[in-house]
Amino acid sequence: MISLDNDLIDFLTDIDHVANEEDIFPIFLDAVKSLGAETACYTYAQKNEDGTTTASFQTNYPKDWVDYYTERNFQNNDYLIKHLLENTTLPITHDLDTLGDGELSSEDGKEMWHTVADLGMRRGLAIPFFGLSADGYGGMLIGSNLVNTDEFQKILTEKGAVLYSMAQVTHQLLKHKYMNTGALGAIILSPRQKEIVKFISQGISNKEISYRLNISMPTISFHLKAVAQKLDVRTNREILPKAIALGLVNF
C-alpha cells in the first residue's frame, strides 16, 4: 500500500483549487512554513556564452536583496547555482555552519552567504529540476535560520520526501515560464498505468484501486512494476515522487 502524508494531501488540495498563477508559490511557501522552515526560493539559472551565469527567482526574500544579488553577480559565487548547472537531479543540503573553504573562498562568496543567512537560509534543502530548456536549469531551495543543524536535519528526516514532492508539484506548475516543452515526452505510460498512478497520488490504497478498476491485486502489482521500470526506480514508494518530477501526474 502506498499512502500520502496528510501535509502533502492538504498542499495538493490547496494547489488543486488555485485560481491564479501568482498564488502558486505563496501556497507552496505556506506549506513549507507549516513544516518548520520559513524561506523558499524557486530559481532558474542559465550559463551564458561568456561563462557567466544569469539567474531568475521566485522567493520570499526581500526584493531589494534580490536586486542586490543580481547587481553584485552573486550567482557566479553561488555553489548551489553551480549544482543546478551540473544538470543533476540529486538534492543536496546546505548549512552555513558546515560549509567548506571551497564554497566560501572568495570575499563575494562570504558576503553572499552571510547575507543569505540573515534572510532565513542559514541551512536548507536544495532540490534541482531538469529539462527546463536546452541551456538552463532550475531548482528549489527550502531553508531556515530559526532552527539549528540538528533540528533542521530532523525536519528533513521526517518531512524531506514531502518537501521534495511539494517542490516538484510547484515546479510543474511554474516551469512553463522557462522550459523548452520539446524536452518532455520521453516516458510514456499506458492509460491503465496513468489511472493507477493518479489513484496513488490521491492516497488511495492498492486494495481500493483494485476494487475501483475491477482488476486483481496481482494485476495492480504487475502495473506498478512496469511503471517502476519505466521511471527507473527500484521501489513502489519512489514511483509518485518520480512521476511528479517528470510531469506525469495531473492534479
Q: Give the chain's domains with CATH numbers.
A: 6-181 (3.30.450.80), 185-245 (1.10.10.10)
Angle at 5 between CA 165 and CA 151, to 5 degrees: 80
The answer to whether the beta carbons of residues 47 and 135 sit under 8 Å apart is yes
How far is residue 23's CA from residue 82's CA, in Å, rounded to a whole number? 29
Residue 136: per-residue pLDDT: 67
DSSP structure string for 103-166: TT-SHHHHHHHHHHHHHT-SEEEEEEE--S-SSEEEEEEEEESSS-HHHHHHHHHHHHHHHHHH
Per-residue model confidence (pLDDT) at position 118:
79
**pTM to 2 decimal places:** 0.67
pLDDT at position 79: 81
Buried b (16+ CB within 10 A) or exposed e, 80-95: bbebbbeeeeebeebe
The Cα–Cα gap between 90 and 23 comes to: 27
Structure confidence at residue 34 (pLDDT): 93
Set of cell numbers at residue 115: 547575507
Residue that is written with C-alpha cell 522550459 in the block: 179
Ordered mean pLDDT values, 10 residues apiece, the chain (251 residues): 73 86 92 93 79 82 82 80 76 82 68 79 86 70 90 92 90 74 54 88 89 90 88 83 73 53
